[in-house]
Structures are given as C-alpha cells and as structure tokens.
Amino acid sequence: ATPRSTARQLVREALERYGLAAEEGTGGEYVLCDVVGRPGGPGGAWQVEHLRPVGDGERPLVLQDVWKPKTGCSRRFEIRRRQEVER
C-alpha cells in the first residue's frame, strides 16, 4: 500500500492474495472499513467503537495521517462484506 492506493485497489489486492478474487469476481461485494476500537473484550477480543466503510476512491493511508483516534483507542482497517456493513 502507498499513499496513492485507493480502498478499492487494496481490497482487490487482498482478495487476490488470499485466493478469493477468482471466486468472488471483481470483489465488489467487499468493502474496506475504518474500524476504531480497543482490545479488552472477552478473552482480549477487539471491541469496536466505530466502524465506517471507506469509499472506493478514498486513500486509506492518507486518512490514517489526517485523522487520529481518541486516546486509548486504535484504528485498523478490515475488509468486510458490503452487505453486512450496509445493514
């Protein structure tokens, strides 16, 4: 990933890397999500406080530099099924 990489490009690359691209077509059913949370759930599980789907044309590494989570929280990017996120 580079600062010029778009969310759509990163999703495609991840699907290809894990062998899902051929099964799922172009990957349009997946979306990159900006997830803010903290560890500490049951068994040390990640507790999500905020989840936002990243627009296909947005640049995740630029977002990471521009906006920082509040103290005590961390950010991670996750690939999720678009259908689940839109619910």
Q: What CATH number does residue 59 fall under?
A: 3.10.20.90
Structure confidence at residue 11 (pLDDT): 94
Structure confidence at residue 20 (pLDDT): 80
Cα 44 to Cα 37: distance, rounded to the nearest angstrom: 12
Q: Stretch 55-74: mean pLDDT, rounded?
A: 91
- Structural domain count, the chain: 1
Nearest one of 42, 35, 40 to 74, comparing CA atoms: 35
Structure confidence at residue 43 (pLDDT): 83
> Is 60 within a domain?
yes
By the 8 A CB rule, do 30 and 82 touch? yes
pLDDT band, residue 23 (cuts 50/70/90) = low
Q: Given a cut of 70, is residue 27 above it in pLDDT?
A: no
- Residue 47 lies in domain: 7-84
